[in-house]
């Protein structure tokens, strides 16, 4: 049986969404479904897949979020915004909603057009201004968990850094074992925007945007006196995300576009 799906993009992060409240995807091996369908060029291709399921609490629904390598992740800021719009468009929730993730309850508001604003879980495990040694080089970093773990490294020229080398090296560094970490290169631009590039755990490469990474970068930009809330972040896709720090709460706002809708055939994952 073919499975209806949405392909969505949140500022450059792309996802496959399936309404799995009736369990339609449960008979397919989960690892196969995720890795094969998310593979670019040979299937739909995406950074990850979201399965929307019935809530077991008083929230509107719960999600299961998987990276393209099949690993399940606690949170995804851009995915959360897309989930909000997906739920609204499919009548699963109103324009204001809450849903369960492994990181906790997320609140979302679908605004006019394609904009969605989410309140993320409270960041924790914050550690400022220390170094990690990578092949004899001391890298000045900070780290925080904004739903998933992130390292933030402020640099002078963000385009001049080999993000695959440093991203992979820090992601797999023993200091962050066994779970690993996401890695963000950050640079404050003359126009006041925070330019950010992210190496994402589970994708194992640079993604075009990362919502929780933007939140991590903004937290340390504000701490360093480089910015004040709200902060606009320019992602690698060229699209913008806005991070708000208000009364101890963290919000992420930006576009959540429906790229296309379709039906997933068995040929998308049986190869």
What are the structural domains of the chain? 3-121+256-268 (3.10.310.10), 124-247 (3.10.310.10)
Of the candidates 38, 68, 82, 210, the residue annotated as catalytic is 210
Q: For residue 52, what pLDDT is reported?
A: 98
Q: For residue 1, what pLDDT is reported?
A: 81
Q: For the chain, what is the total number of helices (H) and then of strands (E)?
A: 4, 17
Q: For residue 94, what pLDDT is reported?
A: 98
Q: For residue 126, what pLDDT is reported?
A: 97
Of the candidates 76, 186, 214, 233, the residue annotated as catalytic is 76
Indicate if 210 belongs to the active site: yes
Q: For residue 59, what pLDDT is reported?
A: 98
Indicate if 68 belongs to the active site: no
Which segments in the chain show pLDDT lower than 50? none
Helix (H, G, I), strand (E, B) or coil at 103: coil
Q: For residue 143, what pLDDT is reported?
A: 98
């Amino acid at each position: 049986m073919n499975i209806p799906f949405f392909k969505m993009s949140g500022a450059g992060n792309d996802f496959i969404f399936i309404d799995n409240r009736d369990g339609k995807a449960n008979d397919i091996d989960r690892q196969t479904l995720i890795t094969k369908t998310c593979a670019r060029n040979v299937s739909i291709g995406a950074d990850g897949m979201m399965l929307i399921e019935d809530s077991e609490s008083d929230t509107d629904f719960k999600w299961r979020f998987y990276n393209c390598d099949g690993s399940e992740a606690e949170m995804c800021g851009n995915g959360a915004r897309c989930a909000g719009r997906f739920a609204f468009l499919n009548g699963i929730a109103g324009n204001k909603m809450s849903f369960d993730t492994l990181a906790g309850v997320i609140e979302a508001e679908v605004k006019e057009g394609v904009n969605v604003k989410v309140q993320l879980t409270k960041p924790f495990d914050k550690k400022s201004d220390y170094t990690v040694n990578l092949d004899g080089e001391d890298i000045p970093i900070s780290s925080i968990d904004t739903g998933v773990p992130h390292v933030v490294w402020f640099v002078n020229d963000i385009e001049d850094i080999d993000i695959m080398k440093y991203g992979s090296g820090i992601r797999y560094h023993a200091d962050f074992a066994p779970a690993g970490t996401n890695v963000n290169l950050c640079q404050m631009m003359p126009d006041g925007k925070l330019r950010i590039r992210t190496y994402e755990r589970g994708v194992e490469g640079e993604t075009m945007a990362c919502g929780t990474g933007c939140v991590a970068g903004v937290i340390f930009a504000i701490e360093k006196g480089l910015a004040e809330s709200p902060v606009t972040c320019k992602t690698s896709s060229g699209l913008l995300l806005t991070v708000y720090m208000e009364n101890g709460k963290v919000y992420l706002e930006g576009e959540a576009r429906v790229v296309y809708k379709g039906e997933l055939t068995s040929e998308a994952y049986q190869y």
